[in-house]
């Protein structure tokens, strides 16, 4: 499976994602510049964390105008898996592939720590290797990670099983402890926690590995939804 890791000016978890794919699940990954205009030939798109354009103005806002974005949207619409982590999630909401918005943490500051997540839906292309309601340890590292959406959207997310991960404890003020959601079709996942930082037990947890393995599994054997 061949992944594109999109690199914006200011992305800083691009290499972490690159290693998660290449070392973690032994697949091919390319770092693809925000300036590129084609994503032909990729089976999956990964949008890394970091501070694209310094997160100036609003996290993800400026990156959503980069040339590559058109292609990200095209592949998403074709049903290819698109995973946005942290700043990647913020970008996916800014470009409208995912509903809602990530705003300042309730504490009004950046938080970096290991947190517990609950797998709310294991019938997705990203989570089929997890058990339903499995508790996993994944680090967070963000200042603007409080998920917000209006009531109607929230209802829809719940009805369609689009909430994929919730925090074990409400760590940042997100509505209904939401940590990660997919689009309606289920092929675009955005999450604030960093599974790519949790693929080796020496670094504190390898619970993130199954997420990448799930994507691979889907590619090989299709989704069992």
Residue 203 as a binder of another protein (CB under 8 A): the answer is yes
Q: Is 224 assigned a catalytic role?
A: no
E strand spans, 49-145: 82-85, 101-103, 111-119, 135-142
Residue 196 appears among annotated catalytic residues: yes
Element (H, E) at 34: none
CA distances from 101 to 89, 94, 179, 198, 201 (A): 9, 7, 12, 25, 32
**Is residue 146 near another protein by the rule CB under 8 A?**
yes
- 139: tokens are 């680090």
Alpha-carbon span 2 to 58, nearest angstrom: 31
Site string for another protein, 69-108 (x = CB under 8 A): ------------------------xx----xxx-xxxx-x
Q: Which of 86, 120, 142, 149 is catalytic?
A: 86
Report the C-alpha gap between 78 and 58 in whole angstroms.
Answer: 28
- 194 catalytic? Reply is yes
The span of 39-47, 54-62, 124-132, 216-224 binding another protein (CB under 8 A) equals: 54-62
Contacting residues toward another protein, per CB under 8 A: 9-10, 12-13, 15-16, 19, 49-51, 53-58, 61-62, 65-66, 93-94, 99-101, 103-106, 108-113, 139, 141, 143, 146, 148-150, 173, 194, 196-197, 199-200, 202-204
């Amino acid at each position: 499976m061949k992944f594109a890791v999109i690199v914006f000016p200011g992305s800083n978890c691009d290499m972490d994602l690159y290693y998660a794919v290449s070392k973690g699940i032994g697949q091919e990954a390319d770092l693809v510049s925000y300036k590129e205009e084609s994503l032909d030939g990729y089976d999956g798109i990964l949008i890394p964390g970091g501070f694209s354009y310094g997160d100036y103005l609003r996290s993800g806002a400026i990156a959503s105008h980069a040339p590559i974005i058109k292609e990200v949207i095209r592949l998403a619409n074709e049903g290819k898996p698109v995973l946005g982590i942290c700043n990647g999630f913020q970008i996916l909401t800014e470009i409208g592939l995912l509903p809602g918005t990530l705003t300042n943490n309730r504490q009004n500051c950046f938080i970096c720590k290991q947190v517990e997540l609950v797998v709310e839906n294991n019938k997705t292309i990203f989570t089929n290797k997890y058990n339903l309601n499995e508790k996993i340890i994944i680090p967070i590292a963000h200042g603007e990670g409080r998920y917000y959406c209006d009531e109607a959207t929230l209802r829809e997310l719940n009805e369609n099983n689009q909430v994929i991960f919730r925090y074990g404890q409400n760590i940042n003020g997100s509505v209904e402890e939401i940590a990660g959601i997919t689009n309606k079709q289920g092929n675009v996942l955005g999450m604030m926690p960093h599974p790519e930082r949790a693929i080796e037990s020496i670094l504190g947890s390898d619970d993130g590995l199954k997420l990448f393995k799930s994507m691979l599994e889907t590619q090989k054997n299709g989704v069992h939804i």
